[in-house]
């Protein structure tokens, strides 16, 4: 008997769908890469948002000190208010303070002496903390000594009147990310 060899044909009319292993590995790699990138972007944007909010708090405290210096409130004890300042000691706390001359008859020029316009003034001036602003946990603020003199709101930084392009600053640091708030002699605040 003779056997006839028959060929088995594949049916090429059937649509075969599905993914190969290589296609699935490539897609999973792309998804992993995109999710890692998005996590990093969200983390950075959270830090930036926190710095912006802390910067807004600092700007509002400087504006408050400016408005105090321009308003020149009358003290009940008739002390002469020299001005208002911003102070931080490297923590997350920023303080607004005012200096007043409590011995005006003996030293009427105490407010005009720029050496006395400091957070730690001499005997004829007294420092009083008005407000404290907390920037939050993991924040540190450092600054030059910013002081706004009454009655015109003249800006001093480190006991020197700011003129021209000179600036005073407050730096906010959160986990190594730093933001600067600057004030110039005209009282303009840049962030």
Asked whether residue 136 is assigned to any structural domain, the reply reads: yes
pLDDT digits (tens, 9 = 90+) for 131-186: 788 888 888 888 888 888 888 888 988 888 888 788 888 898 888 888 888 898 88
How many beta carbons lie within 10 A of that of residue 104, not counting itself?
15
Task: Enter the DSSP assignment of 187.
Answer: -
Q: How far is CA 171 from CA 28, 47, 97, 142, 153, in A?
A: 43, 15, 19, 5, 22
pLDDT digits (tens, 9 = 90+) for 157-170: 888 888 878 888 88
Asked whether residue 5 is assigned to any structural domain, the reply reads: no
Question: Is the pLDDT confidence value at 20 over 80?
Answer: yes
Is residue 96 within 8 A of residue 67, CB to CB? The reply is: no
Asked whether residue 93 is assigned to any structural domain, the reply reads: yes
Could you tell me the residue range of the domain that residue 177 belongs to? Answer: 37-190
**pTM surpassing 0.75?**
no
Asked whether residue 7 is assigned to any structural domain, the reply reads: no
pLDDT digits (tens, 9 = 90+) for 77-123: 567 788 888 888 888 888 888 888 777 777 777 787 766 666 666 66
What kind and span of H or E run contains 98? strand 93-101
Asked whether residue 169 is assigned to any structural domain, the reply reads: yes
Torsion of CA 47, 53, 56, 57, to 10 degrees: -110
Closest C-alpha to 94, from 51, 145, 48, 45: 145
Q: What total of structural domains would you count in the chain?
A: 1
């Amino acid at each position: 008997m003779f056997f006839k060899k028959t060929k088995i044909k594949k049916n090429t009319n059937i649509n075969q769908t599905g993914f190969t292993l290589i296609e699935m590995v490539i897609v999973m790699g792309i998804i992993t890469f995109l999710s890692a990138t998005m996590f990093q972007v969200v983390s950075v944007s959270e830090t930036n948002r926190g710095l912006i909010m802390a910067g807004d708090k600092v700007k509002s405290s400087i504006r408050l000190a400016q408005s105090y210096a321009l308003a020149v409130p009358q003290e009940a004890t008739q002390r002469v208010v020299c001005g208002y300042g911003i102070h931080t000691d490297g923590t997350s706390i920023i303080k607004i303070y005012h200096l007043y001359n409590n011995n005006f008859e003996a030293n009427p020029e105490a407010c005009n002496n720029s050496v006395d316009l400091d957070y730690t003034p001499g005997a004829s001036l007294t420092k009083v903390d008005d407000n404290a602003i907390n920037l939050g946990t993991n924040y540190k603020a450092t600054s030059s000594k910013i002081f706004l003199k009454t009655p015109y709101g003249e800006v001093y930084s480190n006991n020197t009147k700011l003129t021209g392009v000179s600036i005073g600053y407050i730096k906010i640091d959160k986990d190594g990310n730093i933001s600067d708030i600057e004030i110039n002699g005209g009282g303009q605040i840049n962030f």
